[in-house]
Amino acid sequence: MNAERARRLNLAGLIITLLTVICAILWAFPLYWGVVSSLKPEDEVVRPYIELWPDTFTLSHYIFALTETEIGRWYLNSIVTALAVTALTVSSSLLCGYAISQLRFPFRNVLWWLVLASFMVPMSTLIVNHFELVAGLGLINTWAGIVLPQLIHPVVIIVYKQFFDGVPKDFREAAVMDNASEWRILTRIYIPMNWGVTTALSIVCFIWSWNSFLWPFLAVTRTDMMTITVGITQVNDAFGVYYARELSAAVLAGLPVALAYLIFQRRVTEAITLSAGIKG
């Protein structure tokens, strides 16, 4: 009986492994295809049949993207806006999560339910309102116009609130007995305890902002103010779209995020797990 059960478990494990490998291949193939196509001459890219490996390798498309476009400016815009979104989102969410978790003030529960209810409102439904506000403030084609509407990430507030709820009350009570202010309690007790959570959330917020396309696409009309995700759509010329050039620019756009994920993989996975646990 035990041997039969072991065989069934091994068969189930084999099937799951095969399915996982197949899903991984299906997920990775578009990435592989994009990178390989960016290394092909344009005439090979537009051939009517599939070639998994280039007949001729060329870096001319990358050279074009680096020298004939404003990709340096687009990188700068993305770095500045992504860092600003990350810093403002994490800091404001930390303060909000701490206040809801540890302080007692009027309408505290109402504020908490509003944060939770915000999950039911897709961000895309707020695009028109955001655009009218930003345009009315004269912030179109500015870094502030790109940054401000991207500061709404309720899940970060919820993660912080849940973390602060889990901190033993003894730490807070001891600090209150020593007449410590709320700011001192936050900065000397709670923040040092959650550097890991803050680091993970910061990395994920940076990736979210870097990969954002819809709002930067609407908020910017000048080429020199575009972020990298929007700017790569401009890699063409008067003779039409060159697919290999577009793909090379897309690879360059995704490279920083891919490197960040490889370097901080554990932190990113931790933050995604926390976010998924809250949403579930």
Task: Give the domain extent around 45.
Answer: 2-58
Judgement on whether residues 124 and 214 belong to the same structural domain of the protein: yes
Mean pLDDT over residues 131-160, rounded?
90
Judgement on whether residues 23 and 74 belong to the same structural domain of the protein: no
Judgement on whether residues 190 and 52 belong to the same structural domain of the protein: no
- The band of 48, judged by pLDDT with boundaries at 50, 70 and 90, is confident
pLDDT digits (tens, 9 = 90+) for 105-134: 888 888 888 888 887 777 778 888 889 999
Judgement on whether residues 160 and 30 belong to the same structural domain of the protein: no
What separation in angstroms does the CA of 171 have from each of 93, 141, 187, 193? 22, 47, 13, 11
Judgement on whether residues 139 and 220 belong to the same structural domain of the protein: yes
- The band of 3, judged by pLDDT with boundaries at 50, 70 and 90, is low
- The listed range with the strongest mean pLDDT (29-43, 141-155, 159-173, 176-190) is 141-155
Judgement on whether residues 54 and 66 belong to the same structural domain of the protein: no
Q: Are 117 and 202 in contact (CB under 8 A)?
A: no
Domain boundary among 39, 58, 77: 58
CATH code for the domain in which residue 190 is found:
1.10.3720.10
Q: Taking 90 as the threshold, does the pLDDT of residue 186 lie above it?
A: no
CA–CA dist 71, 74 (Å, integer):
5
pTM above 0.85, yes or no: no
Judgement on whether residues 118 and 226 belong to the same structural domain of the protein: yes
pLDDT digits (tens, 9 = 90+) for 267-279: 667 666 655 554 4
Residue 9: its pLDDT value, please? 61
Judgement on whether residues 161 and 229 belong to the same structural domain of the protein: yes
CA 197 to chain centre: 16
pLDDT digits (tens, 9 = 90+) for 226-266: 999 888 887 765 445 677 888 888 888 888 888 877 777 77
**Distant-in-sequence, close-in-space partners of 235: CB < 8 Å, separation ≥ 6:** 64, 65, 69, 242, 245, 246, 248, 249
Q: Taking 90 as the threshold, does the pLDDT of residue 90 lie above it?
A: yes
Q: Taking 90 as the threshold, does the pLDDT of residue 68 lie above it?
A: no
Judgement on whether residues 234 and 121 belong to the same structural domain of the protein: yes
Domain boundary among 20, 42, 58: 58
Judgement on whether residues 90 and 187 belong to the same structural domain of the protein: yes
Average pLDDT, the chain: 83
Judgement on whether residues 175 and 262 belong to the same structural domain of the protein: yes
Mean pLDDT over residues 88-99, rounded?
91
Task: State how many domains the chain has.
Answer: 2
Judgement on whether residues 20 and 32 belong to the same structural domain of the protein: yes
DSSP 188-241: IIIHHHTHHHHHHHHHHHHHHHHH--HHHHHH--SGGG--HHHHGGG--BTTB-
